[in-house]
Structure 1
Amino acid sequence: MAAKRSEVECWLTDMDGVLVHENSPVPGAAELLQQWRDQGKPFLVLTNNSIFTPRDLSARLRSSGLDVPEESIWTSALATAAFLKDQMPGGSAFVIGEAGILTALHEAGFIMTETNPDYVVVGETRNYSFEAITKAIRLIGNGSRFIVTNPDATGPSTEGPLPATGAIAALITKATGKHPYVVGKPNPMMFRSAMNRIGAHSENTGMIGDRMDTDVVAGIEAGLHTVLVLTGISDQSEIQKYPFRPNEILNSVADLVSHEPVESEL
């Protein structure tokens, strides 16, 4: 059973739309991070984006005015690498992706190969190549297992939406008839692997997100105390579309900053 907010001892929080919005910090984000540090509460900042390494993301957050060390960042790339290491230690993979997933798999002991890999792993990239997608389709057709870091069909940019991992995965599925195993949100495994990283338990862990279809549903399925903030994707009309509810709906993370815990359960 998910804890009440006053019982939460560890926090997981989404990054974009919760702590930052288009590289600007959300008001209250820096204060909340400091509050967790002052209270000695373990926390991880989560992102479904698998392009960047935790070091990259830590630097990006620092430039936005938020102090988050790289060991406090958990990406879908790290979750994917942890899952594959558990499934097949010392395995091999053909990867479509960038530094985030490549570094994570290398550090998990995986070998990158184009010859009969155990897995084809598709992650986020801004440089999808027809040649690489063709290779992935042929390898999966020959028996390599199909893994995707996250299901997001599009990603944001200043010019408008960009095709993302889920869109490329759909293309490969159409060509092969094989559906991937998706590690990132809304798979609750993303949260379970994050909790393992900081030694947390679902009974006393909270999750803050801005999306009903990924953050909240995965948090509920993982048994966490779920907090939806309205600084990102979801608004009240979006919330009404779903048959489930978070434990709390707040305007922003600023509502979590306090000197004394204040209960506002739904």
Structure 2
Amino acid sequence: MSTRKPIESWLTDMDGVLIHEGTPIPGADAFLTGLKESGKPFLVLTNNSIYTPRDLHARLTRMGLHVPVGNIWTSALATAKFLDDQRPGGTAYVIGEAGLTTALHDVGYVLTDHDPDYVVLGETRTYSFEALTKAIRLINGGARFICTNPDQTGPSPEGVLPAAGSVAALITKATGKDPYFVGKPNPLMMRAGLNVIGAHSETSAMIGDRMDTDVLAGLESGMETFLVLTGLTTLPDIDRYPFRPSRVVDSIADLVAEI
């Protein structure tokens, strides 16, 4: 096997790696502190499109984890960047929260339900039948279908919640149109994030708790990959996949010395 170059920049998932159900995972603070002291570029990523980076910064700060706003990269930001590249100044009908609508406004998109260029589906805790019906009719009328991420479920203190991927499947069933998913495991989100911090995949690493999104996205982006066992993927799960992470560690605490 070829020897990889030293890691000069880090990307890490948030839920299951740094926090779990609103509580910091032991070692997360030391890891983030080490990154900031090292001066190495880094990003905290999330497929969740509900919150803006400013919102997430505030939430993490309340937990004792200090991540600058500019070091947070969401599927909503990646989606806005993608649409701005594809069709600058376009229009979209959006099902989602402030994280997504703010990101689209910031790139100059107009949000409308009148003949939009795109229907953009993101995460929300209040999916409405009326909004989904409108999205289906707009897609049938020619709007292109975009979804921020393919996650079928998301975590909550009460248990799993249906996520954007599950709702996208409903729309697909009704329209016959598959969405383009921007978030992980699409390497587009990773490469756009690397560009934000001026990093290169050959000298970057991705840390995640899911084989099917985090590790796969890192692998397909050409990065070194670390799987932590503090989230969804368990040790027996790994052999079920046709690919493997570069390394498996118990938690983020085991990577502090790697910085």
Please tell me whether the aligned partners of residues 7 and 203 of structure 2 are also in contact (alpha carbons under 8 angstroms).
Answer: yes
Q: Which residue matches 1:233?
A: 232
Q: Which residue matches 2:132?
A: 133
Q: CA offsets, 1:168-201, max 9 Å, x none?
A: 1111100000000000011111101100110111
Amino acid at match of 2:212: D
Please tell me whether the aligned partners of residues 32 and 257 of structure 1 are also in contact (alpha carbons under 8 angstroms).
Answer: yes
Please tell me whether the aligned partners of residues 21 and 155 of structure 2 are also in contact (alpha carbons under 8 angstroms).
Answer: no
Cα distance in 1, alignment partners of residues 20 and 132 from structure 2: 32
Q: Which residue matches 2:30?
A: 31
Q: Which residue matches 1:191?
A: 190
Q: Give the deviation of 1:36 after TM superposition.
A: 1.0
SS, match of residue 94 in structure 1: strand
Q: CA offsets, 1:128-164, max 9 Å, x none?
A: 1111111100100011000000111111222222111
Q: Which residue matches 1:165?
A: 164
Please tell me whether the aligned partners of residues 2 and 202 of structure 1 are also in contact (alpha carbons under 8 angstroms).
Answer: no
Amino acid at match of 1:130: F
SS, match of residue 120 in structure 2: strand
Cα distance in 2, alignment partners of residues 90 and 103 from structure 1: 14
Amino acid at match of 2:73: W
Please tell me whether the aligned partners of residues 210 and 227 of structure 2 are also in contact (alpha carbons under 8 angstroms).
Answer: yes
- Per the normalisation by structure 1, the TM-score is 0.95
Please tell me whether the aligned partners of residues 188 and 222 of structure 1 are also in contact (alpha carbons under 8 angstroms).
Answer: yes
Q: Once the two structures are aligned, what percentage of the paired residues are identical? A: 65
Identify unmatched segments of 5+ residues in structure 2.
none
Matched, 1:150 2:111: no
Q: How many residues align?
A: 259
SS, match of residue 88 in structure 2: coil
Q: Which residue matches 1:224?
A: 223
Q: Which residue matches 1:65?
A: 64
SS, match of residue 94 in structure 2: strand
Q: Which residue matches 1:243?
A: 242
Q: Give the deviation of 1:249 after TM superposition.
A: 0.6
Q: Which residue matches 2:39?
A: 40
Amino acid at match of 2:162: P
Cα distance in 1, alignment partners of residues 126 and 22 from structure 2: 22
Cα distance in 1, alignment partners of residues 55 and 3 from structure 2: 33
Please tell me whether the aligned partners of residues 75 and 183 of structure 2 are also in contact (alpha carbons under 8 angstroms).
Answer: yes
Matched, 1:102 2:96: no
Amino acid at match of 1:205: S
Cα distance in 2, alignment partners of residues 140 and 110 from structure 1: 18
SS, match of residue 105 in structure 2: helix
Q: Which residue matches 1:181?
A: 180
SS, match of residue 186 in structure 1: coil
Q: Give the deviation of 1:23 after TM superposition.
A: 1.2
Please tell me whether the aligned partners of residues 150 and 182 of structure 1 are also in contact (alpha carbons under 8 angstroms).
Answer: yes
Q: What is the root-mean-square deviation of aligned Cα atoms in Å?
A: 1.4
Cα distance in 1, alignment partners of residues 34 and 159 from structure 2: 35
SS, match of residue 56 in structure 2: helix
Amino acid at match of 2:111: M
| Larger CA deviation: 179-188 vs 149-158 | 149-158
Cα distance in 2, alignment partners of residues 254 and 166 from structure 1: 31
Identify unmatched segments of 5+ residues in structure 1.
none
Please tell me whether the aligned partners of residues 210 and 228 of structure 1 are also in contact (alpha carbons under 8 angstroms).
Answer: yes
Please tell me whether the aligned partners of residues 228 and 250 of structure 1 are also in contact (alpha carbons under 8 angstroms).
Answer: yes
- Per the normalisation by structure 2, the TM-score is 0.97
Matched, 1:83 2:87: no
Cα distance in 2, alignment partners of residues 116 and 76 from structure 1: 24
Q: Give the deviation of 1:2 after TM superposition.
A: 9.1
